[in-house]
Structure 1
Amino acid sequence: MTATAAPPYAAPTVAAGLPGPQRRRRRLPFSPWHLLLVPLALVFAVPLIWLLLSSVMSNAEINRFPPALWPSHIDLGGYRYVLGNAMFPRWFANSLIVSVATVVGNLVLGTLGGYAFARMRFTGSKLLLGLMMATMAIPFQLTMIPTFLVMKQLGLIDTLGALIVPSLVTPFAVFLLRQFFLSLPRELEEAAWIDGCSRLRVLWQIVLPLSRPALSTVAVLTFLSTWNDLTWPLIAINHEPQYTLQLGLTTFQGQHHTQWAAVMAGNVITVLPVLLAFLGAQKAFIRSITSSGLKG
């Protein structure tokens, strides 16, 4: 009986093309989406670049036609004019006070309202939530006059209180925090209730530490809208000592002559806190947006 010959050993064939590590080295070092996002980001950055370049030009260079795309020399006259204005530090402080007070009010009252709508069931809660959300569709131009009359009855016109009180809590803050609270698992709170914690203690020690992304988002968006607001301060404030930055910058523009270098320099100083606030909370902002649709 003859033994059958074993099949010859077949050496592994090399697949066509380059091996895995070399193929990976030939790939782009970044996501292909960057080829679209980088040019798009540059388009959005053009106004900021133009603002920065114009702030170091002279008035004659800014008003020249055709306009200069690059300053012939660095001229800091606009910054000297703005910082030399005696009222500018006061306007900056007013904007900071109004913005910080509004952010704190939205964080505190928005958290309480959002948690109540998310976890507590009471008579008319759904109706009240629907009415609150419906106010988000009402443009500010329709509520401007009633708000002015209420502030006048309270004696707050031409004070910083007229800028703070109407924005202490917004439907957007309550709604955003409610949606985030709904995404948190109830089991964490129920375990704390079994241990004897009250609702406020559960909110402070359990819910709020997990809600930092949503709180950061509310803080940044509230700060942006309040810091850049011009319409309401233009109506509620009449005297320069109570001006905010946005309202004070309008004084550099006259009917016959405009200090464009000062306007540009003032806008650069005004934009800096906004950029720093957004960059500081960027990661938390992205985490809030990505987790807002999740359910625990």
Structure 2
Amino acid sequence: MRIAVCLSELKPEPWVDGLRRALPGADVRAWTPGAPPVDHAVVWMPPQQLLDEQPQLRGLFNIGAGVDALTRLRLPPRTQLVRLEDGGMAVQMAEYVCHALIRHFREFDVYEADAREGRWSYRKPRERGDFAVGVMGLGVLGERVARAVAQFDFPVNGWSRSGKAIDGVRGFVGDDGFDAFLGASRVLVNLLPLTEATRGILNRRNLSLLHGGQPGGYLVNVARGGHLAEADLVPLLDSGQLAGATLDVFEVEPLPPAHAFWRHPKITVTPHGSARTERETSIAQIAGKIRALERGEPIGGVVDHNRGY
């Protein structure tokens, strides 16, 4: 069995070494143009050339949860595109979202600003029941986030295309339930995959529906920058329709130094660090799936190209 590792912007050697340890007897090498045929490839943002040169490729394993960059490539007809299912990212994502939520709910950002000015301030406590959290996308990461938020006694809503029952989470399904989901949620957490159907879904119209259309909604985007219609956000913040936003992902990354998001007082920017792939955990998961494929067994995380995730 031959495996190629092709990781744009990352060193392949630690992944090659890890896969060799996890799959003794496999021929694992860093990919180079013109390389011999392989059975599987472990990739991050690979060039089209790799796929064109490997028409016999059986498994294409992405080292991240999002596969939007790969669905735009032309895959060989027999190749299964496989995404990570967690890879150590779910708990990190839950930490990040809960931190952003609690920072906003408890107004720690206001305390921070007052402390910089040497002001000893007081804020009236808020009611958790007034801060329903809507989690958009209920895959492995979204479910973990929804369950974590519920532990802090916030009302939690969940929206997905096909519907998913989670204890303590009020479910909304598909297009018919989308507007009701937004209206019932004051804090919106986006964990959707980026597809043609979800690009720009965080736009003026949809964000204005938060909190029943009342001012005071809040956005946390930890999925992809392409979900947000960036030009719509600042006017919503300036008008008070939205109280603020925590953004970890952007249409262009790194976020350009002159971008308005850096300087807006109601926007918290982080550099796409809400959840990092844990290499050893991911290697173990990928190796297990490769072994299952070699045995002819079904595996999880196979991408449906019609849906894009």
TM-score class, shorter-chain normalisation, is under 0.3
Q: Taking CA–CA contacts closer than 8 Å with sequence separation of 6 or more, which of the two structures ends up with the larger relative contact order?
A: 1
Greater C-alpha radius of gyration? 1
From the two aligned structures, give the one with the greater helix fraction: 1
The structure that is strand-richer by fraction is 2
TM-score for the superposition, normalised by structure 1 = 0.26
